[in-house]
């Protein structure tokens, strides 16, 4: 039997067309929904060192009292709302407005009682301190 070379390009082109249709449908759905009613997720930067994990969330125009930070089970949940101020003359609105929510799974070893949050210059900084490592405990294996 002769060997036939496989060309993946037609299949990849088909996948691209399907993705384009899916994205177009999503865009149409978003355009029908007013900007102030969409739930959006703020952009997050996460940094970790040996003492803590720091999450910085971009929340321009959101006041401190409009932000809710809470622990739900093993998740850190940040939610709130960025108000949309209707003014005349907008040609295009690219910012996110309305309610937002972002959830992060907390890794083990976080000191939940020491979590702090501060909002400054449109950036919410959540600090998750790590618990100091405990001492290893030796367990004796008993025989029957």
109 and 80 fall within a common domain: yes
pLDDT in tens, 62-101: 999 999 999 999 999 999 999 887 778 877 777 888 899 9
How large a percentage of the chain has pLDDT more than 90?
Answer: 50
Domain with 18 in it: 7-37
- Residue 15 covered by a domain: yes
> What is the rounded distance in angstroms from the CA atom of residue 21 to the CA atom of residue 18?
5
Q: Identify the CATH number of the domain in which residue 107 sits.
A: 2.60.40.790
pLDDT in tens, 31-47: 666 555 567 899 999 99
> How many domains, in total, are found in the chain?
2
Average pLDDT over the chain reads: 86
- Residue 125 covered by a domain: yes
pTM score, two decimals? 0.67
């Amino acid at each position: 039997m002769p060997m036939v070379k496989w060309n993946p390009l037609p299949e990849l082109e088909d996948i691209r067309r399907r993705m384009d249709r899916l994205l177009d449908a999503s865009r149409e759905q978003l355009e029908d929904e007013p900007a102030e009613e969409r739930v959006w997720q703020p952009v997050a930067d996460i940094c970790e060192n040996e003492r803590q994990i720091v999450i910085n969330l971009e929340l321009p125009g959101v006041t401190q009292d409009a932000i809710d930070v809470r622990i739900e089970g093993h998740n850190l949940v940040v939610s709130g709302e960025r108000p949309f101020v209707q003014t005349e003359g907008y040609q295009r609105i690219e910012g996110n407005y309305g309610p937002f929510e972002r959830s992060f799974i907390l890794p083990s070893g976080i000191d939940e009682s020491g979590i702090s949050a501060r909002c400054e210059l449109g950036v919410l900084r959540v600090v998750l301190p790590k618990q100091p490592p405990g001492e290893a405990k030796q367990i004796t294996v008993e025989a029957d």
